[in-house]
Structure 1
């Protein structure tokens, strides 16, 4: 059995080596016209990525900002594809913990708009979304709620979780472009719930939407 395994590993290594050799050979024999096309495609991709980043920045991405009203929340959700909104209270020390992590993540992930809203200034939204625990983060994609992060349970149920742990959790919900391993939480010493709790979702206009798991953010 051991001999068979070794033979299979050698065969697999040989296949990989042959593939690498073939690719190197292709690159070595590539003409100037082909190389120029590859360079041009890379330049265009870089320009497109830079233009997209500038558009996000023009919409206030790249920073963690506080909203002054519910109307501002609706406007942002219409304008940005990915929105993470922290519903908070000044009296909660855990909200302050979350603020520090979100402030850091906002700088790292321009593709997502990170905002916060005082629940006392948003009675309609907090009622409509059924927010009962502070802090709660609403995860909004394409103007529809995708889920909620309630308290710190999903980050190991502790106050000293790392920014990377929250980043991982947001990556699991596809709210950011996560480059790590979604199957393994960064804080290995803590146990994070992988089956995240979802709350029933309702339309903001005040009626349940039949057979729908989304909430429409429309003013």
Structure 2
């Protein structure tokens, strides 16, 4: 407090010091409370509920608690949509390619069945031999003798398999009536099943040694042996 002389008394100085100390203490406490409040706000779990979380009953004034409905960000929705579109496009492309392959395979099958007697096991003459092995990419040719029992057993199994593997032509030829090709292909033991690819003999099954050695072997033995030769199969390249 100013006196007329322009000087502070000791009491004035003491009062001023106390007032300053009190103001400083108050300011520090206020700042501390503000910092504490900010820290509490920062650490407090946030529950962002939409406005319609509670439905108020107008008569009773009571409100019903509803589960929080989380809404995806628009950018996430758009990203997911694009991913789904991409997946759909890939699946559509795969389906179209698969369908096209099936159509081509079916068309090829009809051609071979109708013009080359595929899916049938037929006897051919010597004059038809070259046509059979050259015009069909894959051909199974059984050299047989009409009086040999084991040749009849081979006929039975090939008659079954020809219906399953339409990609390959199955034929049989009487060895007695085909001396030229018997000599050319060095057929010495009957039954002999000679396997052709692109007109070239690539493999053969002579007798029953590779089929179990017994007359009552199952068809699957013959099937497995033919599959090994790569002249019979559902996935052959035509």
User: TM-score band, normalised by the shorter chain?
Assistant: 0.5 to 0.7
Q: Is the 8 A contact 1:168 1:178 kept in 2?
A: no
Indicate the residue corresponding to 1:84 in structure 2.
140
1:154, distance to aligned residue in structure 2 (A): 0.6
SS in 2 for 1:134: coil
Structure with higher helix content: 2
Indicate the residue corresponding to 1:121 in structure 2.
177
Which of 49, 56, 62 is 2:105 aligned to? 49
- Tell whether 2:125 aligns with 1:60: no
Instruction: Write out aligned runs for 1:66-105 (5 A).
Output: 66-67=123-124, 69-105=125-161
User: What root-mean-square deviation, in Å, do the aligned CA atoms of Structure 1 and Structure 2 show?
Assistant: 1.9
Question: In structure 2, how many angstroms separate the alpha carbons of the residues matched to 1:31 and 1:138?
Answer: 48
Tell me the TM-score normalised to structure 1 length. Answer: 0.65
Question: In structure 2, how many angstroms separate the alpha carbons of the residues matched to 1:107 and 1:88?
Answer: 20
1:86, distance to aligned residue in structure 2 (A): 0.4
Unaligned runs of 5+ in 1: 1-26, 180-219
Indicate the residue corresponding to 2:92 in structure 1.
36
SS in 2 for 1:33: helix
Q: Is the 8 A contact 2:165 2:234 kept in 1?
A: no
1:70, distance to aligned residue in structure 2 (A): 1.5
Q: Which runs of 4+ in 1 moved over 6 A?
A: none
Tell me the TM-score normalised to structure 2 length. Answer: 0.60
- Tell whether 2:159 aligns with 1:109: no
Higher CA-based Rg:
2
Unaligned runs of 5+ in 2: 1-82
SS in 1 for 2:147: coil
- Where relative contact order (Cα < 8 A, 6+ residues apart) is larger, the structure is 1
Which of 182, 190, 198 is 1:134 aligned to? 190
